[in-house]
Amino acid sequence: MNNNVDAIIIGAGVIGACTAYELTKLGYRTLSVDKLPQAGYGSTSGSCAIIRTYYSTIESCALAYEGWHHWKSWAKYLGNMVSGADLVEYHNTGCLVAKTTLNNHLQKVCAVMDKLGCPYEHVSNDEINRYLPGVDKRLYYPAKTIDDDAFGKPTGGELSGSVFFPNGGYVSDPMQSAVNVQVAAESLGAIFKFNSTITRIVIKQDRVAGVELSDGSVVSAPVVINVGGPHSSVINKMAGVSDNMLMSTRALRHEVAHVDAPESFNNVKRIITSDSDVQVYTRPSSANGKGFLIGSEDPQCDVREWVDDPDRFNADFSAQWKTLVMRLAQRIPDLSIPDTARGVVALYDVTEDWMPIYDKSDLPGFFMACGTSGNQYKNAPVAGKIMAKLVQTTDAGHDHDSEPVQFHLENIDFTVSLDAYSRNRTINEDSSFSVIG
Ligand SMILES: Cc1cc2nc3c(=O)[nH]c(=O)nc-3n(C[C@H](O)[C@H](O)[C@H](O)COP(=O)(O)OP(=O)(O)OC[C@H]3O[C@@H](n4cnc5c(N)ncnc54)[C@H](O)[C@@H]3O)c2cc1C
């Protein structure tokens, strides 16, 4: 193996691959190591790959809007180094978000969109049928578990309309998107090594010096970046940096249900939906729109299934699956509840405030892009650029902790102070504390 690299990236998920690609563009010789057999095989493969611009904070909305520009021009982002059938498709369906008391009727989100110049339009209750035929507009909040006698009983009143965000959609194949980035990075000289587990972070003279692999071999490098997804806390512990961080990361088990859409949806333009009244989000299952992917918006009543060992978790569907389908059926009464569960069981990597950590650490040369909290697939190209800039400025002697790096988002002409993603930030109370971020 090439033992002469400038940076080792732990993980070749979509964010790890983008980090390798962006560092390579800056001239770094990178080695990406992943214990799985191909890029994107980890939590990226389970992603719903929804691209949306609405979050709870301006920094998050800005990153997401910048990210949307890259998905929209995916071949260009890849430097036109991938083409034809290998390229994933981005379907710009738009996203319909219900106005509810939980999201303050989207007033704050719309004000942020105005600041960022990100388009949206208000949709009245009468117009919702255009997107969701036969929709039940009654309120059901708060969400309940299906064994609660009050489940499915309206709680009074109706939705106060919705907002449609035209710049949003989903990517056809999240795993393949990571492969696309790997190919682009390799064409610039990046090296990827699969089926290889990192078991130790090598530290010499109080700074990172490389990694040790499970076969006992050591690869030296002055920079190591933890992009281990749900394994990020294990890797931070290996590096001995966890105890000096205010934020932490934890793996959280989540299910996504795949179901057929009712026939009434056959001739309807299929979109992404987010409904914090019944507390589920949906996306069309495929380009021809024959079904729904249904995910949870993490209501208070649901017990959170934290996972201590990300290599060992229950990969079978549980009551969570049926709960998701029945929650959506409150809004779409024609939805059938299948007998057989289909979908995904996977792990998020969650921080205290459900915002990611894109940062250096107290161990010189050791960086992390983690805590992506079920909502950072869309930001992978931007996260890759952020990590490359953090490594480059730190190499140049800059101390990001005392003077946070300012990161300019070129497509939307907006600058974000990267202390928003610090490992030592205080909990961002503006967060939704859910996958919405
Ligand atoms: C069910 C689900 C739905 C989601 N839906 C969306 C969505 O709709 N929109 C959105 O924006 N985001 C979504 N997300 C979040 C998004 O998918 C993730 O934030 C993103 O894929 C994380 O990418 P990553 O590269 O950081 O991690 P991963 O894809 O998990 O990659 C980490 C890699 O590190 C490797 N690794 C770990 N430890 C080691 C080690 N010791 N040695 C070698 N390799 C190691 C693993 O094998 C893995 O391949 C969802 C996530 C899930 C789970």
| CATH value at residue 324 | 3.30.9.10
Residues 40 and 174: their CA atoms lie apart, in Å, by: 7
Contacts of 90 (CB under 8 A, 6+ apart): 51, 71, 72, 74, 169, 170, 171, 172
pLDDT band at 113 (very low <50, low <70, confident <90, very high): very high
If one compares 211 and 4, the residue with the highest pLDDT of the two is 211
**Statement to judge: residues 74 and 14 lie in one domain:** yes
Tell how far the Cα of 204 is from the centroid of ligand 1, in angstroms: 29
State the CB neighbour count (10 A cutoff) for residue 317: 16
DSSP string spanning 346-413? EEEEE-TTS--EEE--SSTTEEEEE--TT--GGGHHHHHHHHHHHHHHHHTT--TTTSPPEEEETTTT
Per-residue pLDDT at 4: 79
Q: Mean per-residue pLDDT for 421-432?
A: 93
**What is the domain count for the chain?**
2
Q: Residue 383 domain-assigned? A: yes
Contact, 390 vs 400, CB < 8 A? yes
Contacts of 267 (CB under 8 A, 6+ apart): none
Ligand 1, pocket-test mutation among 48, 309, 386, most atoms within 8 A of CB? 48
Residues 390 and 403: their CA atoms lie apart, in Å, by: 12
pLDDT band at 2 (very low <50, low <70, confident <90, very high): low
284-336 pLDDT tens trace: 997 666 899 999 999 999 999 999 999 999 999 999 999 999 999 999 999 99
Q: Residue 389 domain-assigned? A: yes
Tell how far the Cα of 215 is from the centroid of ligand 1, in angstroms: 24
261-276 pLDDT tens trace: 999 999 899 999 999 9
Q: What are the φ/ψ torsions at residue 217 (nearest 5 degrees)?
A: -75, 155
Please name the residue whose Cα sits nearest to atom 14 of ligand 1.
374
Contacts of 288 (CB under 8 A, 6+ apart): none
Bridge partners, 367 (sequence order): 225
For tokens 């699956």, name the residue: 321
21-44 pLDDT tens trace: 999 999 999 999 999 999 999 999
Q: Three-state SS for 90?
A: strand
Distance set, CA 290 to CA 94, 134, 264, 266 (Å): 17, 17, 11, 7
366-425 pLDDT tens trace: 999 999 999 999 999 999 999 999 999 999 999 999 999 999 999 999 999 999 999 999
Q: Residue 324 domain-assigned? A: yes
Please identify, among 290, 324, 346, the residue that sits at the C-terminal boundary of a domain: 346
Ligand 1, pocket-test mutation among 22, 376, 387, most atoms within 8 A of CB? 376
Please name the residue whose Cα sits nearest to atom 41 of ligand 1.
198
Q: Mean per-residue pLDDT for 194-213?
A: 98
Q: Three-state SS for 419?
A: helix
pLDDT score of 3 more than 90: no
**Statement to judge: residues 264 and 330 lie in one domain:** yes
Per-residue pLDDT at 418: 98
Bridge partners, 170 (sequence order): 50, 91
Q: Mean per-residue pLDDT for 187-194?
A: 98
**Statement to judge: residues 342 and 277 lie in one domain:** yes
pLDDT band at 1 (very low <50, low <70, confident <90, very high): low
**Statement to judge: residues 75 and 117 lie in one domain:** no
pLDDT band at 110 (very low <50, low <70, confident <90, very high): very high
Please name the residue whose Cα sits nearest to atom 18 of ligand 1.
377
Nearest Cα to 344, choosing from 296, 307, 302, 409?
296
Per-residue pLDDT at 287: 63
**Statement to judge: residues 22 and 149 lie in one domain:** no
Please identify, among 346, 376, 408, the residue that sits at the C-terminal boundary of a domain: 346
**Statement to judge: residues 73 and 207 lie in one domain:** yes
Task: Take residue 383 and report the two structure tokens written for it.
Answer: 């996260």
**Binding-site residues, ligand 1, Cβ < 6 A:** 10-16, 33-36, 41-44, 46-50, 197-198, 227-231, 235, 254, 256, 344, 346-348, 372, 374-378
Tell how far the Cα of 418 is from the centroid of ligand 1, in angstroms: 21
**Statement to judge: residues 159 and 259 lie in one domain:** yes
Per-residue pLDDT at 189: 98
340-359 pLDDT tens trace: 999 999 999 999 999 999 99
Please name the residue whose Cα sits nearest to atom 37 of ligand 1.
228
Contact, 292 vs 283, CB < 8 A? yes
Map 200-250 to HEC letters: EEEEECCEEEEEEECCCCEEECCEEEECCHHHHHHHHHHHCCHHHCCCCCE
Tell how far the Cα of 229 is from the centroid of ligand 1, in angstroms: 4
Q: Mean per-residue pLDDT for 125-143?
A: 95
The minimum-distance atom of ligand 1 relative to the CA of 375 is: 12
**Statement to judge: residues 122 and 241 lie in one domain:** no
Ligand 1, pocket-test mutation among 170, 199, 211, 231, most atoms within 8 A of CB? 231
Percent above pLDDT 70 for the chain: 99
Nearest Cα to 18, choosing from 221, 177, 232, 170?
177
What is the CATH classification number for the domain harbouring 17? 3.50.50.60
Owning domain of residue 197: 7-86+173-249+353-421
Q: Residue 437 domain-assigned? A: no
Q: Residue 432 domain-assigned? A: no
Burial class (CB in 10 A: 0-12, 13-18, 19+), 315: exposed
Element at 60 (helix H, strand E): helix 58-72
Per-residue pLDDT at 430: 87
Per-residue pLDDT at 428: 87
Task: Take residue 435 and report the two structure tokens written for it.
Answer: 């996958």
Tell how far the Cα of 42 is from the centroid of ligand 1, in angstroms: 6
Percent above pLDDT 90 for the chain: 94
**Statement to judge: residues 245 and 262 lie in one domain:** no
Residues 132 and 121: their CA atoms lie apart, in Å, by: 16
Q: Residue 66 domain-assigned? A: yes
Q: Residue 131 domain-assigned? A: yes
**Statement to judge: residues 258 and 244 lie in one domain:** no
Q: Residue 427 domain-assigned? A: no
Contact, 277 vs 137, CB < 8 A? no
Please identify, among 346, 361, 381, the residue that sits at the C-terminal boundary of a domain: 346
Per-residue pLDDT at 290: 80
**Statement to judge: residues 338 and 377 lie in one domain:** no
**Statement to judge: residues 42 and 73 lie in one domain:** yes
